[in-house]
Chain A
C-alpha cells in the first residue's frame, strides 16, 4: 500500500529565507507527483507536476525535484514571502488519477 509522508508537519520561518519541504513515498511505481498548496477552508491549487520520467520542474520561485528510486521529492521555495503561508501537500498519482496525499506541511512566513 502506497504511503506518503511529509516532513516537517509545520514550519515557521522569517520572510526572505529559502526553504525546503520534504515528501517521501513507499512505492516507486507512480505516474507522476504533484505539489499543491491549500489555504484555510479552500480547495487545492496546483503548484508543480513532475512526471515519473522527469527529475525536476521549476515555476518562478518554486523548484521541485523527484528521485523515484529513493522515493523522495523536495519542494524548494526561494526568497519566501508572507503570501507563501499555507499548507503544502504532495501527492503521488498511482494510476488513473488516483492521488495519494501526504498529511501536508503547514508553512508560516513571518514578516
Chain B
C-alpha cells in the first residue's frame, strides 16, 4: 500500500516568486493536513481539508493557501515568497480527521 506522496522533494525559489506543492494521500484517506517545519518554530499547522473543504487554518498569512480535489489529492500554494518561508513542508493524511495521521517525506523549500 503506497504511503503519502509529496512532490517535488526539493525546490529552490527566488524571493517574490510563488510555488505550488502537491500531496497525494494514502488511497481511501479523505483528510489531508499541511505543516511547516523550521528549526526555530518546530512543526506548525497550516491547514486541513476534508472532502474538499478547508475545515481548519493555522496562524499563517494569506499568502499561504491550499485546496483539495475530488480524488483527495491536495495542493498548497505560497505566493510572494519570503526568505522566512524556507522550510520543510509536510503533508499528512488520515482516513477521517480523528484517525491516525500518516506523513509524507516532505518538500524541502529553499527561498534565496
The interface residues of chain A, by DSSP majority, are classed as strand
Closest to B48 in A: A97
Selected interface stretch from B14-22, B63-71, B73-81, B100-108: B100-108
Contact call B31/A97, Cβ cutoff below 8 A:
yes
Residues on B with beta carbons closer than 8 Å to the beta carbon of A101: 35, 42-44
| Interface residues on chain B, size class | 20 to 34
Contact with B along A33-49 (1 / 0, CB 8 A): 01010000111111001
Known A-B contacts A99-B33, A104-B42; the reply to A42 vs B106 at CB < 8 A is yes
Distance in angstroms between the alpha carbons of A89 and B101 in the assembled complex: 13
Distance in angstroms between the alpha carbons of A93 and B4 in the assembled complex: 19
Q: Is there a chain B Cβ closer than 8 Å to A22's Cβ?
A: no
Point out residues on B near A: beta carbons under 8 Å.
4, 6, 31, 33, 35, 42-45, 48, 50, 55-56, 58, 88, 90, 92, 94, 97-98, 100-106, 108
Point out residues on A near B: beta carbons under 8 Å.
31-32, 34, 36, 41-46, 49, 89, 91, 93, 95-104
